[in-house]
Amino acid sequence: MFEMSMPWWEFVFRAVVVYVVLLAMIRMSGKRTMGQFTAFDMLLIVLLGNAVQNALLGKDTSMTGGLLLAATLIVLNWLVGYITSRSKVAEHLLEGAPVVLVRNGHVYRDVLKRELVNRDDLAKAMRESGCSDIERVRLALLETDGHITIMTNDQKDDGSDD
């Protein structure tokens, strides 16, 4: 139960490789992938976990190996958070930057398509912000977490140095 079939460093190495590759794949899949989870997204997460299980564990089924992997993944996740909170370059590289979807009532359809945002998603974000007319939208941003922020012409910009 506690005897591992591989050296401890191989577990750590496998965890680092799988974590980095999955992080890159998720990052490349776009902001909307991580924004709002649907049933399909949850299914993808479960299947991803199952798909990488053997890559992480190999033939080891020991409790010690599983706990070592879990600890390594948690440390990696903390480390990524630590690095991105202290480095703008790392933050931009790993989390991306907000993307303009609408400016002054003009919808950037090519950006919507590239970011996998459909008109219904944009309309829903507008409704949630109390905006019924696209002409009232001063700025619509697809945030790095996948949510859409709507700023209307009648809202003040909070970015000023009052």
pLDDT reported for residue 102: 96
Question: What SS3 class is residue 5?
Answer: coil
pLDDT reported for residue 160: 47
Closest CA to 35 of 100, 101, 116, 106: 116
> Which ranges of the chain have pLDDT less than 50?
160-162
pLDDT reported for residue 56: 82
pLDDT reported for residue 142: 93
pLDDT reported for residue 162: 42
pLDDT tens figures, 85-127: 999 999 888 888 899 999 999 999 999 999 889 899 899 999 9
pLDDT reported for residue 112: 93
pLDDT reported for residue 158: 54
pTM of the model: 0.63
- Distance between CA 10 and CA 59 in Å, rounded? 12
Question: What SS3 class is residue 85?
Answer: helix
pLDDT reported for residue 83: 93
φ, ψ dihedrals at 102, nearest 5°: -140, 135
